Amino acid sequence: MNYDELSKLKFEQLKTKKNVLILSIESSCDETSIALVENGRNVLSNIVSSQIDIHKLYGGVVPEIASRNHIQNISTVLNDALIDAGKNLSDIDAVAVTFGAGLIGALLVGVNFAKTLAYSLKIPLIAVSHVHGHIGANYISHKDLKPPFTCLMVSGGHTALVDVQDYCKFNLIGTTVDDSVGECFDKVARVLGLSYPGGPNIDKLAKQGKNVIKFNYHSPLKNSLNFSFSGLKTAVVNYVHNKEQKGENFSKADVACSFQELAVDELFSKAIKGCKYKTLVVAGGVGANSRLRERLSNNQADINVYMPELKYCTDNAAMIGSIAYYYIQAGKGLADLTLTATPTVNIND
Ligand code: KG4
Ligand code: ZN
């Protein structure tokens, strides 16, 4: 039997296997991560090798440097993931990998590594969408969580509301018409002179804010489930530039806090309005924002809110291993050795 025939057969067998151990790989941006996840919920290991300190020097991720560092790190990360889990390569049932969305060169490192592993171990290769992975993070943090629910997807690349009808049935009900919220946090941080990644630094500085600043801004899409962040970003950047040009003093903490309130308000109001099952699930890096978490936890709309633990909000391979298990159950994602990377994905696919 050749590899394709064997992997199809094993993929079918995994649907009914009692314990499915997936080795998952994530390399879409600046974290090289490999995890071992059992039955979609039980994380045996999750190694995340972050390149933040390298990219900080440039104020953001440099794609070529990210790819080179993934190549340098990935074998060590694999070794550590196996040791941490107390498993051998022969214990693995399938290899799952993020194939998009993300930086193409960075993704290709993970995809090619995954292909080599799957082929040499003669086991199925599962191609996973990064955005679905962020949703999967919640199945790790909340063992009782099951679809259907509404998902607020807030990452560096995406800002969306998704109707998650089943584990692998996604329907986009709202999306940003311009920038993602993560991009907006990172840009505002940059103009305030805070280091990359900006989101966590804005979050921290905002706690010291005392006065509300009224930026020249009104949320433009009040009656829609779509989001907009470019107007807010421009208003804050203009405020800071104006103050600097006039040589006037201003409080960076007040800017961070006032900006964060408006950004969180845009997310909160749309999420509550668009939540149709009384269960709201948060996914993606901005889901680590303390003010967003506080607002959602204290919502008065009688909506149960699930958020991943902080370590599973930002990019990691465990979330890819989690959703890959449900891909297999749904007969989705089996890839062959022609699999390649893609910079964008459609959330519904
Ligand atoms: O999901 P993620 O790790 O990567 C993508 O898939 O894009 O999200 C990264 C984004 C960055 O924009 C980062 O600044 C933001 O998440 N972020 C935060 C916080 N932690 C990470 N934004 C606001 N507050 C935070 N605490
Ligand atoms: Zn991500």
Per-residue model confidence as pLDDT tens digits over 272-287? 999 988 999 999 999 9
Query: Region 34-38: what's the mean pLDDT?
Result: 98
Query: What pLDDT digit, counting tens, does each position of 285-295 carry?
Result: 999 999 999 99
pLDDT at 242 over 90: yes
Give the ligand at the shortest distance from the Cα of 183: 1
Ligand 1 atom with the shortest distance to the CA of 102: 6
Alpha helices in 275-309 (DSSP H): 290-297
Give me the helices (H) in the chain, please: 3-14, 52-56, 63-85, 104-121, 130-141, 181-191, 198-206, 230-246, 252-274, 290-297, 310-313, 318-329
The continuous run of DSSP H or E covering 45 comes out as strand 42-50
Spatial distance between the Cα atoms of 209 and 258, rounded to a whole number of angstroms: 8
pLDDT at 124 over 90: yes
Specify the domain boundaries for CATH 3.30.420.40 within the chain.
3-139+313-335, 147-310
Half-sphere exposure of 173 (CA within 13 A, CB side): 19
Q: What's the burial of 249, exposed, middle or buried (CB within 10 Å: 0-12/13-18/19+)?
A: exposed
Q: Find the 23 Cα to ligand 2 centroid distance in Å.
A: 18
Residue closest via CA to ligand 1's atom 2 equals 285
Just give the CATH number of 147-310.
3.30.420.40
- Candidates 254, 261, 234, 319; CA nearest to 285 is 319
Q: What is the mean pLDDT of residues 335-345?
A: 97
pLDDT of residue 219: 87
Q: Write out the CATH class of domain 3-139+313-335.
A: alpha beta
Nearest CA to ligand 1 atom 23: 199
Q: For atom 16 of ligand 1, which residue has the closest CA? A: 285
The reported pTM is: 0.96
